[in-house]
């Protein structure tokens, strides 16, 4: 048997109320409440009334369940009734033992019964049911009213949409006529935007009515979900069946109203969709059209054909200007009022801020010609006017009025010229106050802007620009050279101007007047951006010199200075962007080619990413400097930290920050960090082959830093080199020898080879002096002298005390060894030398001889009979060169060597002479 969801919800609410106040539901209902119960209750047999003595909290729950069972709308089966009876019997048996207590409680309840019985009791189901019927009646009335008023709304809607359709047809014709001209196409795009906004504004009331109908239909759907699936079931009461039929009829009526609204709105919505599609196509074509406009082919201005249809081209130019009026200025009185109001508010806001800053900083300066006063009196007013024009150029649709935007950018350009010159004078106060040197470049600049802004014919624009370039060259030759002193940037720019003008003249004569004007504008804008950037950096440097060096204010000040450097770069970039944005189509070009950036593979990179990376670079560098300075001052703040841990901590902190910056830079350019796993795999192969030495030194450096095997200031000996450690980096360690030679030792040598650290444990070191005295010297006196000499030296430690050992009986000396500890390694050599000097002096005074190695040879005379017979002496060849003898002249024809008959006889003489000489 089906049970309605709504009724089940009502029963649950009843159960919750019974649990909250069981005494109320346990009381006997009033007559008024009995009359409110449905008549169907009479047909159902009443259950036994609960005894008054048993109306406690559990009994109240039981009574509530019995009341729920008495509801006519709930159809329970036999199994459910059996289970309910079994539970009731079990509860009655369980409480039979507590009868006495129940009677006492029932008396108390009886005393309170008259007061409770006076409260009116209303069935929660009746409340829910009446609310649902009232809601359905209200929805039905609204649906009927919407159906009645739809005919009038649909008639007015069709009449109002017709002018917009005519406007769409005219815009389509204009677009097909001027499809290759960027100026008219941009105007058509602006008019399409205005048409779509007006059409949506007109459709708003109808769309709101449709939304109301849709909301009512959803509410009816929620009510229908609570109804049973089969409304013709005989188990439902007639009242429920009537409610279901009304619900279905109201749903059908609302569905019909929505269909009528959709049918009436279909033409207007289709028109909006078509206009938006057309505008998307125009927005995609405009950057390409402006690009082709600035990169156009040479104009044959010397050809008669170029001037043949001059009148028709001028007529098209005038039509283009008229067509661009909605793009340039507001066309309605309401939009003019909004633009003027924005201009006044922007001017007031910036003006008040400028006055406050002037009173705070510049009012105290008594010099009327000071640079600071000139900034507030000339530069900042131009800046305020430019910002006010920019604020008024924003239209209601989010687009810009081109004329206001151009005027605002030109005012900002003038402000930049004065501000850049003022900032430069802050660094060079010796340069006399004069007109900004770049002001002479502004006249050709303004002329080029006007020529590019107006949609005139190309030959006419070329001739006008050619005259302007020639006049500028002549004026430049006649203009005296400015003496700017140490300002080499301005001098170099002014010296390069004639070269740029001659290049512009050549390009103009070749028919490339657009290239010529853009080149001159690029030269002036880059020169001004360079001057502004250098002036800003000079201001930052001067502020940095005046900042405090310690404390929280110093940290915040240095952080602000670090941020000011990228701010200066951003200001320079924005300054150049303003020059581009002032050009016709400049905003489209900036958005398409600069802000969107370029694609390098699957990565997109633009100027904003570059500025973010530069900003984070300056912030990271400042954070590294501040963190290193903070760590270096930790031991001075009273913290119990080893000073030798500071350099490793600074190194780890520095590498951690720069690693974070590297990850940010990779993410800023669009690289996914998950791709670093592939990069790491490639690097592992490179490390295994070509970078193993670098990685070995890097890892060895980390081992040395964090294991503290070496520290700055230690005296080490490695590979036969002894010296003092000056700095430990991740690649190599700088060791300074005692000869003042700086040796760069790779870290891998310290890890892989044998290392001697003389000062790792402490600065004390033990030295040994060996001395030998002659045999016959008093050994005890020698030992006393050695001990006394060592103890008398101030660099020798008293503990451990010096010691003397009788080392050995030498071949020529009695050997003694003196061992003592020196307080510092640096004075160990000089201390040993001083002790040796004292030992020598004491030995000389005590007549103790420091023996030296000597050998005595005694030759004994043997008796005559023991002498062995001497063998005859054999003649030996003399090493001395024989005297020269005259050569014997052989007869002609004789061969062979001359005979040496006297050679044997000459040998003894040579031998005797050699023996005598020896």
Structure confidence at residue 3 (pLDDT): 41
Q: Are residues 168 and 31 part of one domain?
A: no
Could you tell me if residue 549 is inside a domain? no
User: Do residues 245 and 135 both lie within one domain?
Assistant: yes
- Give me the domain span that covers residue 829: 765-845
The answer to whether position 402 is within a domain reads yes
Contact 84, 69 (CB under 8 A): yes
Alpha-carbon distances of 514 from 62, 293, 458, rounded to whole Å: 96, 8, 9
Q: Are residue 118 and residue 136 in the same domain, yes or no? A: no
**What is the C-alpha to C-alpha distance for residues 330 and 401, in angstroms, rounded to an integer?**
7
DSSP 120-132: ----HHHHHHHHH
CA–CA distance, 749 with 766 (Å, rounded to integer): 27
Distances (CA, A) of 631 to 431, 628, 651: 44, 5, 11
What distances in angstroms separate CA 726 from CA 122, 635, 707, one per listed residue? 94, 20, 17
Specify if 868 maps to a domain: no
- Give CA torsion, residues 664, 665, 668, 670, to 10 deg: -110
Among 94, 122, 150, give the residue marking a domain's end. Answer: 122
Give the pLDDT of residue 879: 47
Q: How much is the pTM?
A: 0.56
At which of 845, 875, 908 does a domain end?
845
pLDDT at 701: 81
Q: Does residue 872 lie in a domain region? A: no
Domain annotation covers residue 882: no
- Contacts of residue 511, defined as CB under 8 A and 6 or more positions apart, other chains included, come to 298, 299, 300, 301, 462
Q: 3-state DSSP: the chain helix, strand, coil percent, rounded to 5?
A: 70, 5, 25
Question: What's the CA gap between 583 and 405, in Å, rounded?
Answer: 10
Strand, helix or coil for residue 756: strand
Q: Based on the number of CB atoms within 10 Å of its own CB, is 423 exposed (0-12), middle (13-18) or buried (19 or more)?
A: buried
Widest CA span in the chain: 183
Kindly give the parts of the chain with pLDDT less than 70: 1-126, 128-129, 151-155, 226-236, 362-369, 396-398, 544-559, 561-562, 593-605, 642-644, 673-683, 686-690, 860-918
280 and 151 together in one domain: yes
**Hey, is 6 helix, strand or coil?**
helix
Q: Tell me, yes or no, whether 161 and 287 share the same domain.
A: yes
Contact 468, 505 (CB under 8 A): no
Contacts by 274-282 with C-beta closer than 8 Å and gap 24+? Answer: 274/168, 275/168, 275/171, 275/192, 275/195, 275/196, 275/199, 276/196, 278/171, 278/172, 278/175, 278/192, 279/189, 279/192, 279/193, 279/196, 282/175, 282/185, 282/188, 282/189, 282/192
Q: Residues 320, 181: contact at Cβ < 8 Å?
A: yes
Q: Rounded to the nearest 5°, which phi and psi values hold at 253?
A: -65, -45
- Distance separating alpha carbons of residues 409 and 401, to the nearest angstrom: 12
Quote the CA–CA distance of 138 and 213 in Å, as a whole number.
13
d(CA 382, CA 379): 6
Q: 16 and 148, same structural domain?
A: no
892 vs 889: CA distance, rounded Å? 9
> What is the pLDDT, as a whole number, of residue 605?
66
Nearest C-alpha neighbor of 405 from the set 386, 418, 382, 422: 386
Let me know whether 155 and 284 are in one domain.
Answer: yes
Q: Which of 122, 150, 185 is the last residue of a domain?
A: 122
Task: Provide the domain count of the chain.
Answer: 5
Placement of tokens 């690693």 in the chain: 659
Q: Are residues 686 and 733 in the same domain?
A: yes
Residue 175's φ and ψ, nearest 5 degrees, are -65, -40
Token pair, residue 375, equals: 């900034």
User: In Å, how far from its chain's centre is CA 525?
Assistant: 29
Question: Which pLDDT score is estimated for 600?
Answer: 59
CA distance 880 to 878: 5
How far from 28 is each of 34, 64, 127, 573, 814, CA to CA, in Å? 10, 12, 20, 86, 130
Q: Does a structural domain hold residue 834?
A: yes
Which strands sit side by side in the sheet containing 715-718, from one edge to the other? 742-746, 732-737, 721-728, 715-718, 755-757
Q: Which residues touch 626 (CB under 8 Å, ≥6 apart)? A: 555, 558, 559
Question: What does the pLDDT read at residue 682?
Answer: 67
Residue 18 located in a structural domain: yes
* Angstrom distance (rounded) from CA 650 to CA 408: 49
Of 360, 192, 343, nearest to 276 by C-alpha is 192
Cα distance between residue 733 and residue 277, in whole Å: 68
Three-class SS string for 774-840?
ECCCCHHHHHHHHHHHHHHCCCECCCCCCEEEEEEECCCEEEEEEEEEECCHHHHHHHHHHHHHHHH
Residues 152 and 197 in one domain: yes
**Phi-psi bin for 11: left (phi > 0), alpha (psi -120 to 50), beta?**
alpha
Alpha-carbon gap, residue 275 to 259, rounded angstroms: 24
For residue 311 the two structure tokens come to 């009148």
Regarding whether 110 and 194 lie in a shared domain, the answer is no
Q: What is the CA radius of gyration of the chain?
A: 55
Q: Which helix (H) or strand (E) holds 723?
A: strand 721-728
**Residue 717 belongs to a domain with what CATH number?**
2.30.30.60
Instruction: Clarify whether residues 396 and 424 are in a common domain.
Output: yes
Query: What pLDDT is recorded for position 232?
Result: 56
- Cα gap 304→34, rounded to integer Å: 110
Domain annotation covers residue 407: yes
Q: How far apart (Å, rounded) are the C-alpha atoms in residues 821 and 827?
A: 11
Cβ–Cβ contacts within 10 Å for residue 459, how many?
19
Same-domain status, 160 and 284: yes
Q: Does residue 26 contact residue 54 with C-beta atoms inside 8 Å?
A: no
d(CA 582, CA 500): 21
Q: For position 847, what pLDDT does the model report?
A: 87
As a whole number of angstroms, the distance between CA 296 and CA 293 comes to: 5
**Cβ–Cβ < 8 Å for 121, 18:** no
CATH of the domain at 828: 3.30.70.100
End-to-end CA distance of the chain: 148
């Amino acid at each position: 048997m089906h049970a309605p969801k709504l009724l089940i919800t009502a029963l649950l609410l009843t159960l919750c109320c019974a649990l909250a106040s069981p005494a109320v539901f346990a009381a006997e209902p009033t007559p008024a409440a009995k009359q409110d119960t449905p008549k169907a209750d009479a047909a159902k047999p009443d259950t036994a009334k609960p005894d008054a003595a048993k109306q406690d909290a559990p009994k109240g729950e039981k009574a509530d369940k019995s009341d729920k069972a008495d509801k006519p709308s709930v159809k329970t089966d036999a199994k459910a009734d059996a289970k309910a009876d079994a539970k009731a019997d079990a509860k009655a048996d369980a409480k039979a033992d507590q009868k006495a207590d129940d009677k006492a409680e029932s008396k108390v309840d009886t005393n309170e019964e008259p007061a409770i019985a006076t409260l009116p009791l209303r069935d929660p189901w009746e409340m829910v049911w009446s609310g649902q019927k009232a809601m359905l009646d209200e929805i039905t009335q609204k649906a009927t009213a919407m159906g009645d008023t739809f005919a009038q709304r649909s008639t007015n809607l069709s009449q109002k949409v017709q002018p917009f359709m005519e406007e769409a047809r005219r815009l389509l014709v204009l677009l097909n006529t001027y499809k290759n001209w960027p100026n008219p196409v941009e105007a058509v795009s602006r008019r399409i935007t205005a048409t779509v906004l007006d059409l949506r504004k007109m459709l708003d009331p109808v769309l709101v009515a449709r939304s109301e109908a849709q909301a009512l239909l959803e509410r009816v759907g929620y009510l229908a979900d609570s109804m049973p699936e089969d409304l013709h079931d005989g188990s439902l009461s007639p009242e429920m069946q009537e409610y279901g039929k009304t619900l279905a009829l109201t749903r059908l009526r609302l569905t019909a109203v929505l269909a009528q609204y959709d049918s009436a709105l279909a033409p207007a919505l289709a028109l909006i969709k078509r206009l938006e599609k057309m505008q998307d196509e125009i927005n995609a074509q405009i950057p390409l059209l402006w690009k082709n406009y600035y990169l156009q082919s040479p104009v044959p201005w010397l050809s008669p054909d170029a001037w043949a249809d001059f009148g028709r081209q001028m007529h098209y130019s005038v039509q283009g200007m008229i067509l661009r009026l909605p793009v340039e200025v507001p066309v309605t009185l309401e939009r003019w009022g909004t633009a003027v109001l924005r201009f006044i508010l922007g001017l007031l806001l910036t003006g008040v801020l400028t006055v406050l800053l002037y009173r705070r900083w510049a009012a105290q300066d008594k010099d009327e010609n000071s640079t600071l006063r000139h900034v507030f009196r000339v530069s900042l007013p131009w800046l305020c006017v430019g910002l006010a024009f920019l604020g008024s150029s924003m239209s209601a649709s989010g687009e810009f009025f081109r004329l206001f935007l151009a005027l605002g950018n030109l005012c900002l350009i003038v402000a930049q010229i004065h501000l850049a010159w003022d900032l430069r004078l802050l660094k060079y106060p010796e340069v006399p106050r004069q007109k900004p040197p770049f002001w002479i470049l502004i006249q050709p600049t303004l002329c080029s802007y006007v020529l590019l802004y107006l949609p005139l014919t190309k030959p006419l624009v070329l001739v006008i620009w050619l005259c302007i370039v020639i006049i500028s060259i002549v004026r430049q030759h006649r203009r005296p050279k400015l003496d700017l002193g140490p300002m080499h940037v301005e001098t170099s720019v002014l010296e390069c101007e004639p070269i740029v003008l001659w290049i512009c003249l050549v390009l103009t004569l070749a028919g490339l007047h657009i290239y010529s004007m853009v080149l001159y504008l690029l030269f002036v804008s880059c020169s001004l951006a360079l001057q502004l950037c250098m002036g800003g950096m000079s201001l930052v440097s001067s502020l940095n010199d005046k900042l405090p060096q310690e404390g929280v204010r110093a940290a915040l000040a240095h952080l602000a200075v670090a941020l000011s450097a990228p701010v200066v770069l951003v200001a320079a970039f924005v300054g150049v962007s303003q020059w581009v944005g002032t050009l016709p189509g400049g905003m489209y070009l900036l958005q398409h080619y600069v802000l969107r950036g370029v694609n390098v593979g699957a990565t997109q990179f633009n100027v904003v990413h570059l500025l973010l990376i530069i900003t984070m670079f300056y912030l990271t560098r400042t954070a590294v400097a501040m963190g290193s300075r903070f760590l270096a001052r930790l031991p001075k703040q009273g913290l119990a930290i080893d000073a030798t841990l500071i350099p490793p901590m600074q190194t780890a902190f520095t590498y951690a920050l720069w690693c974070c910056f590297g990850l940010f830079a990779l993410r800023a350019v669009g690289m996914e960090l998950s791709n670093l796993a592939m990069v790491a795999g490639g690097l592992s192969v490179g490390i295994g082959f070509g970078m193993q030495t670098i990685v070995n030194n890097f890892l060895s450096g980390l081992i040395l830093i964090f294991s503290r095997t070496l520290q700055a200031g230690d005296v080490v000996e490695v590979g036969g080199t002894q010296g003092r450690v000056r700095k430990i980096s991740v690649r190599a360690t700088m060791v300074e020898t005692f000869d003042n030679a700086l040796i760069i030792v790779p870290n891998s040598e310290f890890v892989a080879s044998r290392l001697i650290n003389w000062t790792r444990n402490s600065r004390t070191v033990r030295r040994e002096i060996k001395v030998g005295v002659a045999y016959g010297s008093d050994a005890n006196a020698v030992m006393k002298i050695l001990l006394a000499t060592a103890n008398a030296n101030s660099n020798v430690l008293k503990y451990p005390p010096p010691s003397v050992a009788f080392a050995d009986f030498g071949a020529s000396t009695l050997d003694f060894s003196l061992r003592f500890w020196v307080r510092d390694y640096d004075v160990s050599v000089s201390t040993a030398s001083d002790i040796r000097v004292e030992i020598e002096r004491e030995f000389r005074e005590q007549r103790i001889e420091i023996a030296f190695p000597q050998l005595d040879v005694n030759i004994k005379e043997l008796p005559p009979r023991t002498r062995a017979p001497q063998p005859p002496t054999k003649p030996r060849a003399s090493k001395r060169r024989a005297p020269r003898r005259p050569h014997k002249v052989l007869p002609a024809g004789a061969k062979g060597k001359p005979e040496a008959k006297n050679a044997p006889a000459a040998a003894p003489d040579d031998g005797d002479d050699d023996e005598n000489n020896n």
